Structure 1
C-alpha cells in the first residue's frame, strides 16, 4: 500500500467501524454502536456514510437563500450551526443534537451506561460537539485534533449557501482538437482547460467536490493520466488502457488541408452501486466528454440508489456524444440485459463500494463475479487507506486467481478536496474518492500443444 496515503488523511480513524449503507447490493451494512433507530435516519448522515445528493445545488426547488435574498459576506461565513441564519444549517445542528455522540461519554462510559447527545456548541468550530460544557472542557484537547477541520467545513457549507455568485462553477465548454490538456492534478487540469481562476482553496474544494466523479474516470482514460506505466499501472493494466485509448484517440484524417477527427465507437462506463454520482447534473458529466472530443460516452448508473423511489429505469441523451441510463437493479441482474462486453469500449467503476465489509461481502459476490467475467477493467475507489485495504483484502481472498491487477492502490489525484463529516460522529471525516485501484478478470493464455490437440 502506498505509504503517502497516511500523510493525506490523518484524521480518518476507525471509519470502518461506523455504519455504512451498501449501495452495490441489497444489504445494509451496520457496525459499531449504531442501533436500529439510527438506521432509519441514514439520510441525515453526510457522505462519510452515504454521499449527499447534488440536486439541491443546481436547479429544482428554490433554496432559502433564493427565497429570502439572503447574502452572507465572505467575512461573515462562520456561524454556530444552531444559530445560523440558514435553516438548513440549523437543521444539521438539530440532527447532531438528536443522533450524535458525545466523545467524552463515548470514551469513558461503559457499553450499557447512558450516553448523552451533543448539545453544547463549540465556539471555535460552531458544531455541537459535547453533551455539556463540563465534558467540552474535559475533552477539549482531543477535540482540537478536528476542530479546525469542522470549522473549515462549517464555513464552506455556509459559503455554498451564501447567495454569492459562484463563479467557480462556470465551467469551460468544448475544447479544440489542437488543445492539449494536462491531467497531472487539479491545478494542471484547471489551468490547461481554462477553468475560471480558482482564487481560493475554498473554491478548489467546492469544484473538486462536484468534479471528482467524472474526472476520476477521465484520469484513468486520458493520455496524460497521472497513473504511469511501471509505477501505478501494471503491464496488464497497460494492455486494458491501451485498448480503450485506441477508441478514445483515433488517427487524424487530413481533408482539404484541415484535420478532421474520426468519430469513434461509444465508450460505455458502468457505475456499479451508483449513489451521489447519479444525482450530478448533466453539465458536470459533460466535462468528461469534453476531454475526448471524438468519442461518445454512455454512462450507466446501476444500483438501488441510482434512482429516486418514485422513478422508473430510463435512458436519456444530453447530446449526440453523451447519454445516460439509470437503473435501480442489482448489477448482476442488469448484466443480463447487455448483449456483450468489449474491453475496447467498456469500463467499470465502483465509487467507495465497501465490498469488504463483513455484512456486505457475501451480497456483493454475484455482482463482482459478473464484472470479472467481462474481462473489462474495473476501477474501485475508497474514502481512506483503511477502507481501500479492507476491500482489497476481501477481493484477494474471495477471487484469488480470478483477476489481474490493473492499477496498484494509490492516492487519487482527483479526489475531492472537500471533507465530508459523519453527523452521527463528528470525529469521522473523509475525502470522497480518496484512493483508487483497479483489477480485471484474468485472461488465460491459449497454449498450442500439437501432441494433445487434434
Structure 2
C-alpha cells in the first residue's frame, strides 16, 4: 500500500511518457518504411567519414607498414622513380610527386582513385574493432524454402543472412564466401549458368555437370548407382590452395547446406595450403584431415598435385564424384606458367574430370584459356566458356608492388576437361 499518492502519480506520468516515446518511435519507423527511407546509420556503421585515413597516417600499424612497403618497393608509373606522394583522393601512396600525380591522365580517366579509396575504407573497416554481425551466418536451409543463386543479393535473402546495408559490409562477407559459393553455383541444380547459346555451358560441359548432379541428388534417381554414391563423399579438389584453405570450417559448411543430402571432402592441394585451426584434426606429414561434422571434412595436402597424381593416392577418379577447382592460378602468368602448364595440367587432363578455374579479370582468364588451347587444344574439351562469375568477391584488393593495380577475387570463371574420346584417323 502506497503511503502517498505523489509517487503513484509520478510513476504513472513516467509510464505514460515512455509509452508516448515508444509510440513516436514506432510511428517514425512505420513512416520511414512506408516511404522506403533508409534507417539512420549507427555511430559504428562503416562510412567514409569514420573509416578514411591516409595510409601513412593510419591508426593501424599494419596499414602504415603497407604504405612504407609501397614507397620502398613500388615505382611511379609516370617517372619510374620511387613513390613519395600519397593520393589525396584515395589516401594511398601512388606517385613520385604531386606533379606526376596530376600528369597521370589514365589514372584519373579510369577512376582508379575512387576504387583505391574503397580499398582504403575496406581495410580500415576490417581493423576498426567494430562488431561484425554480418559474420553470424545462418544454419541449415529448411526444405520449404528454395535458395536463389541468381546473384549475391538473392542468395543472401533466400538464405536469411544478416541484412548488409553498406557495400563495405557486403565486401567482407563476399570475399569470404566467394570460394564455396562459386563452387555451389556451378554444381547446384538451380545454377544460374545455362547451356550455350544462352549461357556459357557447352554440350560437353552439360555432360560433366549432369554426371555430378546425378550424384548430388540421389533421391531423384532410383538406380543402383545412385544408391551406391550415397555411401561415398563427393571429392572437391582445390589446387594451388592459398587463402581458401585458411577459411574456417563454418564457412565451408555454408556450401554443404546447399546440398543437405550429400557428404563432401574438400581437398586442398599445394605447398601454400595450410590449416588455420589445427585443433580437432588428424593426420601425419603427408596430409591433415579436419572433420567439421558427419557431412563435410577438410583435407590438406601440402604437395604439388602432379606428384600426388603419379603416386596414385587419389585413384581411381570418378567424373560422377570428383571435380576440380583452381582459383586464379595464372596459367599464363610468367611467374607461374612453368609450374602449371607442364606436369600439373597434364595430370588434370588425365583425370577426365571437370576442372573449373577463375581469374582476377576477363583479360587474366582469357590469357589462361588461350594458353590452354594453344598447348593442349587437341587433348581437352571446353566445358564452360569464360564468363563473369556471379559470385566473385565484391571487395577490391591492392597490389602493394603496383598500387595502381586493383583487382577482385574470382571475377571470371571457365572450365575444361581431358577428352574422353579421342578422334581416330581413318
TM-score of the aligned structures, taking structure 1 as reference length: 0.75
Partner of 1:417: 394
Q: Give 2:316's match in structure 1, choosing from 317, 340, 362.
A: 340
Q: Secondary structure at the match of 2:402?
A: coil
Partner of 1:218: 184
Structure 1 position 322 matched with structure 2 position 289 = no
The answer to whether the 8 A contact 1:204-1:417 is kept is yes
Report the CA distance between 1:276 and its aligned residue.
1.0
Partner of 2:416: 439
Report the CA distance between 1:252 and its aligned residue.
6.5
Structure 1 position 269 matched with structure 2 position 236 = yes
Partner of 1:357: 333
Report the CA distance between 1:244 and its aligned residue.
0.8
- 1:149 to 1:445, Cα distance in 2 relative to 1, 3 A: closer
Structure 1 position 125 matched with structure 2 position 90 = yes
C-alpha separation in 1, matches of 2:319 and 2:105: 54
C-alpha separation in 2, matches of 1:288 and 1:203: 20
- 1:346 to 1:156, Cα distance in 2 relative to 1, 3 A: same
Aligned length: 362
Please list the CA deviations of residues 298-339 of structure 1 after superposition, one character each: whole Å capped at 9, or x if unmatched.
011101111389994311211111111111111011222112
Q: Secondary structure at the match of 1:320?
A: coil
Partner of 1:10: none
As a proportion of its length, which structure holds more helix?
Answer: 2
Q: Give 2:159's match in structure 1, choosing from 181, 190, 193.
A: 193
C-alpha separation in 1, matches of 2:275 and 2:144: 41
The answer to whether the 8 A contact 1:315-1:326 is kept is yes
The answer to whether the 8 A contact 1:265-1:295 is kept is no
1:235-314 to structure 2, matched below 5 A, reads 235-251=203-219, 263=230, 265-307=232-274, 312=285, 313-314=287-288
Structure 1 position 401 matched with structure 2 position 369 = no
- 1:206 to 1:247, Cα distance in 2 relative to 1, 3 A: same
Q: Secondary structure at the match of 1:104?
A: coil
Partner of 1:24: none
Please list the CA deviations of residues 57-97 of structure 1 after superposition, one character each: whole Å capped at 9, or x if unmatched.
xxxxxxxxxxxxxx797431100111111111111111111
- 1:130 to 1:358, Cα distance in 2 relative to 1, 3 A: closer
C-alpha separation in 2, matches of 1:142 and 1:389: 24
Per chain length, whose mean CA-contact separation is higher, i.e. which structure has more relative contact order (CA < 8 Å, sep 6+)?
Answer: 1
Q: Secondary structure at the match of 1:251?
A: helix
Partner of 1:232: 200
Structure 1 position 166 matched with structure 2 position 132 = yes
Partner of 1:384: 361
Please list the CA deviations of residues 120-177 of structure 1 after superposition, one character each: whole Å capped at 9, or x if unmatched.
2222211112223333334377346211111111011111111111111111111123
- 1:147 to 1:445, Cα distance in 2 relative to 1, 3 A: closer
- 1:132 to 1:246, Cα distance in 2 relative to 1, 3 A: same
Q: Give 1:136's match in structure 2, choosing from 93, 98, 101.
A: 101
Report the CA distance between 1:404 and its aligned residue.
1.1
- 1:132 to 1:406, Cα distance in 2 relative to 1, 3 A: same
C-alpha separation in 2, matches of 1:411 and 1:436: 6
The answer to whether the 8 A contact 1:250-1:264 is kept is no
Larger Rg: 2
Structure 1 position 374 matched with structure 2 position 346 = no
Stretches of structure 2 that go unaligned for 5 or more consecutive residues are: 1-43, 222-228, 279-283
Report the CA distance between 1:354 and its aligned residue.
1.0
Partner of 1:76: 50
The answer to whether the 8 A contact 1:383-1:435 is kept is yes
TM-score of the aligned structures, taking structure 2 as reference length: 0.80
C-alpha separation in 1, matches of 2:75 and 2:45: 30
Q: Secondary structure at the match of 2:51?
A: coil
Q: Secondary structure at the match of 2:268?
A: strand
Partner of 1:259: none
